[in-house]
């Protein structure tokens, strides 16, 4: 009986209602309105009065979780007996999982609340309850089946070389799938944005800009990103963009998967999506998709990656004191040497990082620390002498050429053998994939066979690229002439030594460090010697030289005229 009499008039029974949609797409399609209309029609036919104040609607909340703001409010009001009946469009609006449905319905029944669904009748006896449970289990199974079909469909699409994305990468325009011609979506290069990316790569590679300097340059030029509300670039956005291999024509799918964050930024009670963090997969599991490249020079892309990595390691925010060789100096055991300044920087040393890495266990490396000031001065003096002497530079060039000629190289035959092996492995992978598509084994068995094959293919491809690169470098190798060395040495002598005096005191620390870092490839040091490996790239050093301002006049300074300096009583030799 859904109506009762009040002074001879029939009055409809007041009820609450619960509505839910999962996605913003459903909100646009007004499924909340559709549910509201169906609930109202059911109430009118059965003599119920839906109270607007007691309408509980969760917009954009998944049915896979019970932590929903309006559902919690409904359960709280039910416990307070603010109404006796709740009207719901369908059981899957209450929850997607049958176990969740039963949990909430048992709670409402214990509170004396009647639950009415508009699409199915509420179970009244044990037989109805069993049928209702079977229906819920089949609905849950069907949902999982649809989700798996959708996932496999996306995998098939990307493995066929089609782009699957919601928003294109900066530098590209995405043309969506044409439903009439059934042509799949594809990327085209956005030349305006692509030119911005090319400029950024040149700034980093040629001008040695850091990401913060790039952000400042973009702001000065009035170049804005796509989505930022304030129209300002972010260093993390640029870092992600510049590391994306789509820039050289190799997009990817399935590089990461969603996880629940271990240390979330916001500890909110209600989250529409719990898996807000992502974890990277091994690169061998990525699905590569060919796209039109923005950067034609692959070597430029690799140089940018190298400089981004170097800048991250040598960032000034990681330093408390000035260490000229920081980030480049290693211990003889293979670990890096890190700067340490006891007594608030009064004494500076390069110490092996093994004692930090092995803590709390005792360090395996027994090498002692190096006096940083002496090591810095010793290296700077030697490198200035080298750059100011064309004779010494030519000796190093000749020694390097002899070693390079004696070093074994990959032959064209070796490359051909590796390419044949790659083709054979890819053919094997295709056969496994076809067998999986025919249902001969499960996904776990497929991964067990395919993953080792992909790892081997990736390793061989890297060897082929390295071999071709070395071969091309040998073919186009150009060395500076004697005249170029003399001009460079004269410029270095003028800027770094002056009139047979040490003019390096006029250089600021950043300029000296930039010169050192452009020269050193690797420096291994112990208390006996400094073993340096590196190269002097004349163009890069000339760019650094152009930033040095020579002051021909010496102005007298009297601020320290009455100070006296103590002399170190112990001389450390190398």
pLDDT in tens, 69-100: 889 999 988 888 888 899 998 888 888 788 88
Question: Is residue 543 within 8 Å of residue 518, measured between CB atoms?
Answer: no
Q: Is the pLDDT of residue 121 over 90?
A: no
Question: Is residue 327 within 8 Å of residue 313, measured between CB atoms?
Answer: yes
Question: Is residue 352 within 8 Å of residue 335, measured between CB atoms?
Answer: yes
- List the one residue out of 268, 271, 261, 258 whose CA is nearest residue 60: 271
Position with higher pLDDT, 152 vs 13: 152
Cβ contacts of residue 536 below 8 Å, gap of 6+? 386, 387, 393, 519
Question: Looking at 22-102, which runs of residues are DSSP E strands?
Answer: 48-59, 85-88
Same-domain status, 365 and 336: yes
Q: Is the pLDDT of residue 358 over 80?
A: no
Least confident segment among 103-112, 138-147, 338-347: 338-347
Question: Is residue 19 within 8 Å of residue 39, measured between CB atoms?
Answer: yes
Token pair listed for 65: 């979780």
- List the one residue out of 288, 485, 457 whose CA is nearest residue 396: 485
Mean pLDDT of 502-530: 76
Q: Is the pLDDT of residue 573 over 50?
A: no
Residue 129 lies in a domain: no
Residue 464 lies in a domain: no
Q: Is the pLDDT of residue 561 over 80?
A: no
Same-domain status, 240 and 259: yes
| Number of domains within the chain | 3
Q: Give me the chain's average pLDDT, please.
A: 78
Cα 114 from Cα 108, distance rounded (Å): 7
Same-domain status, 483 and 375: yes
16-50 residue pLDDT tens? 999 988 764 444 445 788 888 888 899 888 888 88
Residue 26 lies in a domain: yes
Position with higher pLDDT, 140 vs 390: 390
Least confident segment among 7-16, 335-344, 402-411: 402-411
Q: Is the pLDDT of residue 552 over 90?
A: no
Least confident segment among 312-321, 337-346, 423-432, 459-468: 312-321
Residue 444 lies in a domain: no
Same-domain status, 375 and 511: yes
Q: Is the pLDDT of residue 454 over 50?
A: yes
Question: Is residue 409 within 8 Å of residue 466, measured between CB atoms?
Answer: no
User: Quick one: pLDDT at residue 546?
Assistant: 61
Same-domain status, 294 and 325: no
476-486 residue pLDDT tens? 566 777 888 88
Mean pLDDT of 205-225: 89
User: Quick one: pLDDT at residue 129?
Assistant: 76
Mean pLDDT of 505-513: 73
Same-domain status, 184 and 305: yes
Same-domain status, 285 and 183: yes
Question: Is residue 131 within 8 Å of residue 123, measured between CB atoms?
Answer: yes
Mean pLDDT of 548-571: 38
Residue 454 lies in a domain: no
| CATH for 251 | 3.90.1750.20
Same-domain status, 398 and 538: yes
Residue 14 lies in a domain: yes
User: Quick one: pLDDT at residue 412?
Assistant: 47
Q: Is the pLDDT of residue 265 over 80?
A: no
Position with higher pLDDT, 452 vs 230: 452
User: Quick one: pLDDT at residue 532?
Assistant: 82
Beta bridge partners of 299: none
Q: Is the pLDDT of residue 540 over 70?
A: no
C-alpha to C-alpha distances, 117 to 26, 43, 73, 186, nearest whole angstrom: 20, 11, 19, 45
Question: Is residue 141 within 8 Å of residue 135, measured between CB atoms?
Answer: no
Same-domain status, 196 and 71: no
Q: Is the pLDDT of residue 406 over 80?
A: no
Find the domain containing 360 and state its range.
315-408+476-552
| CATH for 83 | 3.40.50.1390
Q: Is the pLDDT of residue 195 over 90?
A: yes
Residue 570 lies in a domain: no
Find the Cα–Cα–Cα–Cα dihedral 296, 302, 303, 306, rounded to 10°.
160
Residue 367 lies in a domain: yes
Q: Is the pLDDT of residue 115 over 70?
A: yes
Q: Is the pLDDT of residue 203 over 90?
A: yes
| Banded model confidence at residue 475, pLDDT cuts 50, 70, 90 | low
| Banded model confidence at residue 194, pLDDT cuts 50, 70, 90 | very high
User: Quick one: pLDDT at residue 560?
Assistant: 38
| Banded model confidence at residue 150, pLDDT cuts 50, 70, 90 | confident
Same-domain status, 386 and 496: yes
Same-domain status, 118 and 9: yes
User: Quick one: pLDDT at residue 564?
Assistant: 35
SS3 500: coil
Same-domain status, 355 and 299: no
Beta bridge partners of 370: 350
């Amino acid at each position: 009986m859904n109506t009762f009499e009040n002074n001879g008039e029939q009055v409809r029974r007041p009820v609450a209602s619960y509505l839910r949609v999962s996605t913003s797409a459903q909100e646009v399609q007004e499924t909340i309105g559709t549910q509201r209309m169906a609930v109202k029609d059911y109430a009118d036919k059965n003599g119920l009065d839906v109270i607007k104040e007691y309408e509980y609607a969760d917009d954009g909340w998944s049915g896979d979780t019970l932590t929903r703001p309006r559902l919690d409010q409904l359960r709280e009001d039910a416990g307070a007996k603010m109404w006796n009946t709740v009207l719901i469009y369908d059981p899957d609006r209450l929850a997607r999982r049958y176990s969740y449905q039963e949990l909430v319905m048992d709670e409402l029944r214990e509170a004396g609340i009647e639950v009415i669904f508009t699409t199915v009748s509420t179970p009244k006896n044990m037989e109805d309850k069993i049928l209702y449970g079977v229906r819920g289990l089949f609905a849950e199974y069907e949902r999982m089946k649809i989700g798996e079909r959708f996932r496999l469909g996306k995998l098939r699409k990307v493995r066929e070389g089609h782009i699957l994305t919601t928003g294109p990468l900066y530098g590209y325009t995405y043309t969506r799938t044409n439903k009439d011609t059934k042509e799949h979506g594809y990327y085209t290069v956005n030349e305006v944005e692509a030119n911005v990316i090319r400029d950024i790569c040149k700034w980093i590679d040629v001008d040695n800009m850091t990401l913060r300097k790039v952000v400042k340059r973009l702001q000065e030029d009035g170049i804005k990103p796509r989505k930022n509300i304030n129209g300002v670039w972010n260093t993390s956005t640029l870092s992600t963009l510049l590391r994306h291999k789509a820039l050289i024509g190799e997009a990817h799918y399935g590089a990461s998967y969603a996880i629940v964050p271990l240390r979330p930024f916001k500890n909110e009670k209600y989250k529409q999506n719990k898996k807000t963090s992502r974890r990277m997969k091994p690169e061998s599991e990525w699905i590569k998709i060919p796209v039109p490249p923005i950067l034609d020079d692959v070597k430029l892309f690799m140089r940018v990656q190298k400089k981004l990595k170097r800048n991250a390691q040598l960032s000034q925010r990681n330093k408390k004191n000035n260490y000229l060789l920081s980030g480049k100096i290693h211990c003889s055991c293979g670990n890096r040497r890190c700067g340490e300044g006891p007594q608030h920087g009064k004494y500076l040393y390069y110490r092996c990082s093994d004692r930090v890495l092995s803590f709390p266990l005792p360090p395996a490396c027994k090498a002692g620390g190096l006096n940083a000031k002496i090591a810095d001065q010793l290296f700077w003096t030697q490198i200035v002498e080298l750059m100011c002497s064309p004779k010494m530079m030519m000796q190093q060039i000749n020694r390097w050429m002899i070693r390079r000629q004696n070093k074994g190289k990959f032959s064209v035959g070796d490359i051909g053998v590796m390419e044949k092996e790659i083709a054979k492995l890819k053919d094997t992978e295709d056969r496994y994939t076809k067998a999986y598509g025919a249902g001969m084994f499960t996904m776990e068995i497929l991964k067990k066979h395919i993953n080792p094959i992909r790892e081997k293919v990736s390793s061989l491809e890297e060897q082929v690229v390295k071999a071709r690169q070395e071969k091309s470098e040998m073919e186009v190798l150009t060395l500076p002439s004697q005249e170029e060395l003399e001009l460079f040495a004269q410029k270095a002598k003028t800027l770094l030594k002056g009139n047979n005096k040490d003019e390096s005191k006029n250089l600021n620390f950043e300029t000296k460090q930039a010169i050192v870092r452009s020269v050193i490839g690797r420096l291994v040091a112990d208390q006996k010697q400094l073993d340096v490996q590196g190269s002097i790239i004349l163009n890069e050093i000339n760019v650094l030289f152009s930033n040095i301002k020579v002051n021909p006049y010496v102005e007298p300074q009297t601020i320290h005229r009455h100070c006296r300096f103590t002399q170190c009583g112990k001389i450390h030799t190398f």
